[in-house]
Amino acid sequence: METIQLEDIEIVYQQQMKELPFRSAELVLVSDYGSRLWYVDVNGVQDTELLEWFGQSEDIRVELYATATDGRTFNGTAYLHPNEPHQAAALRGDGELRET
């Protein structure tokens, strides 16, 4: 398992790109028996309207673009699961996470 601190996240949903402002976020890569799973935990999400929208929407699929604190960039498809009471979100990866 590898954990990577993120400094910037942008998501594309409903044909629009939006920055996801946060206090802290980490990308977790899990390699198990030849498969590679990934997810992002985001804390201190400042855009409460965005969390509310995803909390009420059935379409929670997004394209994720993230920049790590070490400068690496990643992108992939994920599902955004908001946690409105805690101003947090989990993005669960769907398929390959590409490092660009």
Per-residue pLDDT of the chain (100 residues; tens, 9 = 90+): 999 999 999 999 999 999 999 999 999 999 877 778 999 999 999 999 999 999 999 999 999 999 999 999 999 999 999 999 999 999 999 999 999 8
Give CA–CA dist 94/79, Å, rounded: 7
The 3-state DSSP class for residue 54 equals: helix
How many Cα neighbours within 13 Å face the side chain of 49?
2
Give CA–CA dist 18/90, Å, rounded: 16
Kindly report the number of other CB atoms within 10 A of residue 8's CB atom.
15
Q: 0.85 exceeded by the pTM?
A: yes
Residues 80, 11 contacting (CB under 8 angstroms) = yes
Tokens at 23, concatenated: 């206090």
Whats the size of the chain, residue-wise? 100
pLDDT, position 38: 97
pLDDT, position 32: 79
